[in-house]
Each structure stands twice: as C-alpha cells, then as structure tokens.
Chains A and B, each alone.
Chain A
Amino acid sequence: MVHSNRENGVSSGRIAPADVQANFSDLHPAYDEHEALVAADRCYFCHDAPCMTACPTSIDIPLFIRQIATGTPEAAAKTILDQNILGGMCARVCPTETLCEEVCVREVAEGKPVEIGRLQRFATDTLMAKGVHPFVRAAETGKQIAVVGAGPSGLACAHRLAMLGHNVVVFEALSKGGGLNEFGIAAYKSTNDFAQKELDWLLSIGGIEIRYDQPLGKSVTLDGLQDDFDAVFLGMGLTAVNALRLDGEDKTNVTDAVDFIADLRQASDLTALPVGRRVVVIGGGMTAIDAGVQAKLLGAEDVTIVYRRGQEAMAASQFEQDLARQKGVTLICNATPVGIEGNGSLTAVTFAYTETRDGKLETLDETFTLPADQLFKAIGQKLGDTPDGLTLDGGKIAVNDAQKTNLANVWAGGDCASGGDDLTVTAVAEGRDAAMDIHATLTGAS
C-alpha cells in the first residue's frame, strides 16, 4: 500500500516501492570494462604521487591504475589489497573527494580528477567476482591472537595476522560481522550485501575464527583475553552516542541516527521501513548526511539537517553536502536545538541561532521551530565502557605510532583508538599496522 508522503507521523510506504528501489541503487555505479579503460587512461602515473600520499593505507594508486590500463585488473586488485584488504569497501565509501581524488594532479589542474575510487572498485570487484583470494598464509607460528570487534580495523588486523601465520579469534559483540561496513554507511554506498560478501571473502584466507555475540566486558574480559592469548587487539569502535541533554529527548520518534542507519542496512525490505513526513537531523558529520539523505530517499517530504556551527566546520565533505542538497535535503547551519516539542510524540524541534565569537560558540536569543515527526541525533559517538587500566587520550584509547596501548600485549585501532580520522580506510590502516607490530613483537621480526 502506498501512503501519501504528506501523511503526518512515521510510516512506511510513502513512495512507490519501485522508487525506493531506484533511490537506493548504487550511488556510483560500477564501471564496465570500457569505462574503466578510458578512466584509467587519464592517469599520468605521477612520480611520488600525491594520491598515494593522501591515502591513509598508502595504496600504490598509479601502479594499480596502470595495471587496469594494461588489462590486468586482477594484478591491480592485488596491488590494492596488499595495502588495504578492505579495498573493495573503501572503494565504495572512502570520501575520495577529500583524500586521493582531492590531490590528484588532474583535479588540481582541471577540476576533474582521475576517478580513483571507481577504478579501485573495478579492480577489486573483478578479482572478487572470480572468487579469488590472492593471499596465502605463511607457515603457522603457533601464536594465538584475540581481536575484539569484527569491524574494519579488527578484520584488517585479523587478516594480516592470519597471513603472517598466526591464529586469530575475533570476538564480535553483535551477531553479525563487518562493524560499520555492515551497520553504518548509507545503503546506496554498499549495495547487494557487499559488506557480508567481503567479510566472507576476507575469511577465506583461513586461520581466523569469529565468535559472535561476545561483547567485551560481558562475555569476555580484557584480563581473560590477555591470559589466554599471546596478544590482544582492540577494535570495538565507538559503541556509545552523545546525548543532546534536552528535555523531551525520550519522546517517541526521537532516536539516534546510527540506529536508523543500522536498521536501514539490516532491513530485508526497505519499502517496509517507516520514516517521518518531516524529519529533522541534528549534526554535521557523515552520519547526519547519511541519515538525512536516506530519510529523504525513503519518502520523507521534508528533511532538514541542522548543524550548530558554520558550514566550513561541518565534518561532512563538500561532496556529501552537495549530495544531500541534490537529493532535496535542506541544510541549516548556525543553529542549536533548545526544545523538543510534542505531547508524547514529537511534533517539532525548536532551535536557537548561534554565532561564533572569538572562537567560542554562543547561543543567541532568536529561535525558530521546525515541525517534525521524527528527529535523528547525529552529534557524535563515543567510546563505550572500557576495561580498567587502559590509558585514554581525548576520550579514546591512547596508542603510540604502532597502535600499541599502555597495557602489555594490547594494541588498539580504528575509531576506538586515538589518532587518525574516523574513516573506514583509517581503521584498516591502523588494524594492519597493529598486526605488523604484533607480529614483530611476537616473533622478534622487524
């Protein structure tokens, strides 16, 4: 049944199922072979390439693009995966516009970069479609390593350790792996259950066991893992969310954007997913954009993202902001929520304008009210309960350059660890680097 998208409240079926399907198709459709060759041809094979420097995992981008250009996308995939085992997902979700493609010499010169992300996807998809896993394990070392969290950093760490001959047990809090690849990220960036397929493909190297429903601090403890394993890697991400600290936050249809995104990713039928007529999202990062855009794509009539600071301070990239506007989402900056209205159910959100004076954000007297059936909070995630003894830094687990924590034989990486942006690609780099340091520590290798 199709409801009107002008019906108040939170309901499913606001637009025709076919439109929902179309709205959630691939944001950047895969290249066909001819397109890939044409795109690859634009790469200049720069020396000491800026794109490669900009990549947190330091993928040899000029080399892999040349390998595509010479008809060997499988070799290209190997070049990518050597550095980034989740190169397939990163090709889909990396904000390339602020990383490799931003510094591509053709972006700088012509405003039109080599489309590195899509080329990376072409290469990795080609290899994965062949069911090939291009790495083999080194001889077994007999070392056992515990990885906490089957998200990007944990998986990257586990794969690298398995490749080096260690045995890995991954303790995942949820009943499904993938972390934010599976539960975060807009659905139109990871279609066709890619996160799960990539996880299965990654595990095919062998030597990695995932134990699900094993949250740290409940089923397993860090002390226990330290006793039972030669090393521990913590990659459990940010499991808590920030609160607005406003009255009315408990009203019906006031929820965390991350939960909405996770529900959306896990929904077997997007057309059955309810969404408000008028949706307000509070926040200025990728999560806010992902929630706002997807609410719009599900059929919300009005979606407004409200951010408390100026546009220049938004964590969401310009590309993401443009995408939101293009999909019909309104972005309002310099406004902070001061009231959540409604009697039981949400009806409106009141905001006060803000101004930054001398670097300090000040709330002004002038306010405005947005009618709303649904409010998503996207004001940041934070570390959940952490085991005793871990030193924190800025609300995250403190690590050194090699991802080592202050505790003996405990490393950490990804969003839960200090340093680096909270990006999939950064998490992969940190998981991989931790694995190399664990390997060096356990085997005495350098």
Chain B
Amino acid sequence: MADLTSNFLGIKSPNPFWLASAPPTDKEYNVRRAFEAGWGGVVWKTLGAEGPPVVNVNGPRYGAIHGADRRLLGLNNIELITDRPLEVNLEEMTRVKKDYPDHALIASVMVPCEEDEWKRIIPRIAETGCDGFELNFGCPHGMAERGMGSAVGQVPEYIEMVTRWCKEATDLPVIVKLTPNITNILLPAQAAKDGGADAVSLINTINSITNVNLDAMAPEPMIDGKGTHGGYCGPAVKPIALNMVAEIARNPGTHGLPISGIGGVTTWRDAAEFMALGAGNVQVCTAAMTYGFKVVQEMISGLSQWMDEKGYTSIEEVVGRAVPNVTDWQYLNLNHVTKARIDQDACIQCGRCYAACEDTSHQAISMSEDRVFDVKDDECVACNLCVNVCPVEGCITMETIAPGAMDERTGTVVKEDYANWTTHPNNPSATAAE
C-alpha cells in the first residue's frame, strides 16, 4: 500500500487532502467532522482583525454553473472572511488542534496592509498551536474593495512586504495564497518567494458573474435586485489552476518553491494531476460543498490505488513528476505526426466528429451513405477535435505515424529526429540547426 502521509513544509498530515479556507472550515463543529471523515488537514476560514467582525449579505451568497443532469461544474460566491469573533475562532482552533495533533491545521489570515496589524495578529494566532499560516491575498470580492485579499495579491510589492512582516513575526511556515485575477502568476509568486514565503497556494477564486436573471435584469446571485461579481471555483476552474501551478513549478525563478494546489479538485485524479505538476498537496472546497466531507474517501482510495499500480510508494515520488514535460510551444516536436483513428466497432454513428471536422476544422472525415465515418489521412492535421467531441470514450484515438512512413497530408516522409519552431525554416528568427 502506498504511503499517503504528507509532509508539506514540515507539516505532517495523514494524507495530502486539505480542506481549503472557506465555509467548510468556518468552525470547530465542521472541522472535527472533516477530520473524522478523513481529511488530512484544514486551512481554517480566514481570520480578520480583532474588533467587530465582518458582516455578510443576508441574501444568496452562491451562484452556480451546471452541466448535464445538473452536475455542479462551477460555483461562485460572495461570502466574506469569517464573520465570527476572532476570540471564538482562536479558542476553537486551540481545542481542535489539541484533539487532532496529527492533522494539519493552518490559519488563514487577512488584515489591513499595515505592519503592526499583521505583526500583532500573527503571534496571537500562533498561540492556538496551529501548524502554519496562509496569507489570504486572493479573495476577489468584498474584501478587495477594502484594500485586502486580491487587492494585495495583484500588487507584487505588497505581497513581498506583507510576507516579510509575517515571516518576521513567526517561525511557523507561511504560505501565500495567490489570486488568479492577474495577467502573469509568476510575478506574485516571485514576490512571495522574495518576501520569504515558505510556499504559495493557488488558485483563489476567479472574478465572475455566473449568470444573469433575465427577468430582473441583474446578475446572480441577486440581492434585492442587484448583484456583484463573485469568486469562481469548482471543476470548471481546474485547467486554469493547473496551468498556473505548472508555470510556477517550471519557472527557474520560482522552481522548487513548495505549492499547495487549489482549484476544482474533485477526484483522486485531479489531485494526482496537481501533484504531478508540482503541488506538494492539494486543497479542496467545492467538492466537499457539493458532496459532503465523505467525498475524501474516494480521493484517498483512488490515489492509493493509482500509486500502487504505478509503483509509487510516497507522495514525494509523485510531486513534480510531470513538470519537466511542461514546455513552451516553440519547443514542441514539429516532426511528430499523428492521425485520428475511428474504431468502427465502438462507433455509434452519431456523426458529431463529422460535423465538427467538416464544419469547423479540416474536412478530414468522410461520411458514407450508410453512416460510416472514416478519417481522410490526406486532410487530417491531427487537431484532436473529433476525439474531444466524440461521446464514446476511446472510440476515436490518435495514432502516431512511425518515422519513415508517409504523411499523406504533406506528402513527406515522417522524420525520426526532433525539430521545433526555433529551427524551422519558416521562422524568421530561426537559429541554424547544429
């Protein structure tokens, strides 16, 4: 059996599945039940400065995008940080950590961008016995209007500055949670590193309006006829998150900086993908909010089975394994030729591949009078669209054309050697191949 024990920044947890800072981790009642259900750790719902807590709207806080059969694909929220008194949260965190010493308990923090505010609250929270801090520079709604959350995360200089204050205030690990609402994720990641962060966690939610109420002519969720943008999360944001994680993992300046992967993790596979791209662990929220805490059981059993099948014995063996294979477009092998292949036994003759290819791509699929669909090798550019629109998994696949064989589309023999854009004759700035 694979060992799922996680050691992230020296913080140990029974598995790499942590609940992200969000409503599921807002209080002791939830967190105890989460640990009992099998979650390895939690990042407690973001704590704010002492004093009167923030208030939330009293209307809907969430909007959603559904797929077929009303599967929840994306969730949007306008909830703020914890609206319970700081002292109550600290007492509860202390009790929980005492009872669950082997589980990770991280404090998420968001206070105004002033040195004494941060330096006052960090040591106070540390007294709970928490294992580390996560600086919430990510939330894009509400708090950002007050100069916190993503308002900080969008300014690398602020990230560096606040991170440094926090590192000066504690010996515990400091994780910086990044907002994706920025053009280049490397800049905030680098700033966090420069400020001394032990890790970054990403992504926080994405600015979004999920839908518009066409009767009221207002965005949802709608509060008394008005709406505001919220933070988007759930399975729909996973591709965006994976890319940002991979960029940080492969960029020379930030390579090696530990990453806690967040964004649409719903199954063991999602988690494995984040870890393969460099995440040391993952944080989950929407899957738990959709299916309940029990959903972690599938993540644990699935990851364990997959690791056993692949011969991986520890999480460390998985983390970052795919990073060397993430590259720039310009380094992709232009001599690699594939063609679509349709398994006629599996084909149910729906014709979606034909419509997609004929109408929107390269007219590389033929259709006979009796609805047999075939790939025209002399037209197929191997775009993969037919594979993606086919409703039958595994029915259409891409076959690699062996070197020495003819690519009927180009009329040239497939070459064995690797050649990319940097040396291509059509590239005006090509460098001569050695």
Q: In the complex, A66→B267 CA distance in Å? A: 9
Residue B292 CB within 8 A of the other chain: yes
Q: B291 contacts which of A42, A45, A70, A78 (Cβ < 8 Å)?
A: A45
User: Is A70's CB under 8 angstroms from B302's CB?
Assistant: yes
Q: Are the C-beta atoms of B292 and A72 separated by less than 8 Å?
A: no
**Across the interface, which residues of B come within 8 angstroms of A62, CB to CB?**
294
Nearest-neighbour CB distance to chain A for B136, whole angstroms, equals: 29
B residues 299-329 in Cβ contact with A at 8 Å:
301-302, 304-306
- Taking the closest CB of chain B, its distance from the CB of A115, in whole angstroms, is 15
Number of A residues contacting the other chain (C-beta, 8 Å)? Answer: 17
Counting CB contacts under 8 A, is A245 at the interface? no
A67–B301 touching, CB < 8 Å: yes
B297:A63 contact, CB within 8 angstroms: yes
Q: Which of B292, B297, B301, B302 has the most CB of A within 10 A?
A: B301
A34-71: contact bitstring with B at CB < 8 Å (1 yes, 0 no)?
10010001100101000000000000001100110011
Q: Total contacts A to B, CB within 8 angstroms? A: 42
- Smallest Cβ distance from B290 to chain A, in angstroms? 8
Inter-chain contacts of A373 with B (CB < 8 A):
none
Which residues from 63 to 95 on chain A have a C-beta closer than 8 Å to any C-beta of chain B?
63, 66-67, 70-72, 74-75, 78-79
A41:B294 contact, CB within 8 angstroms: no
Nearest chain B CB to A42's CB is how many angstroms away?
A: 7
CA distance A37 to B393 in the complex (A): 10
Q: Are A66 and B69 in contact (CB under 8 A)?
A: no
Q: Is B269 an interface residue, CB under 8 A from the partner? A: yes
Complex interface: chain A residues within 8 A of B305 (CB): 72, 74-75
State how many residues of chain B have any CB contact under 8 Å with chain A: 18
With CB as the reference atom, state the residue of chain B lying closest to A66.
B298
Chain A residues near B304: list those with CB within 8 A. Answer: 75
Q: Report the nearest A residue to B302, measured CB to CB.
A: A72
A67-B298 contact, Cβ under 8 Å, with A45-B291, A47-B292, A72-B306: yes
Q: Does B367 contact A (CB under 8 A)?
A: no
Q: Hey, what's the 0/1 contact readout for A407-433 against B, CB within 8 Å counting as 1?
A: 000000000000000000000000000
Chain B residue numbers with a CB within 8 Å of A45 are 291-292, 294-295
Tell me the complex Cα distance, A70–B270, Å: 10
Least distance between B213 CB and chain A CB atoms (Å): 26
The verdict on A41 contacting B298 (CB below 8 Å), with A34-B393, A70-B268, A75-B305 known, is no
Would A66 and B295 count as touching, CB distance under 8 A?
A: yes
Complexed CA–CA distance, A79 and B305 (Å): 13
Task: Quote the shortest CB–CB distance from B123 to chain A (angstroms).
Answer: 40
**B-contacting residues, A96-114, CB 8 Å:** none
CA of A42 to CA of B295, assembled, Å: 16
Can you list 6 pairs linking A and B with CB atoms under 8 Å apart? A37-B393, A45-B291, A47-B294, A63-B298, A66-B295, A67-B302
Which residues does A use to contact B, with CB under 8 Å? 34, 37, 41-42, 45, 47, 62-63, 66-67, 70-72, 74-75, 78-79
Known: A67-B298, A70-B298. 10 other contacts (CB 8 A): A37-B393, A62-B294, A63-B297, A67-B302, A70-B268, A70-B269, A72-B301, A72-B306, A75-B298, A79-B301
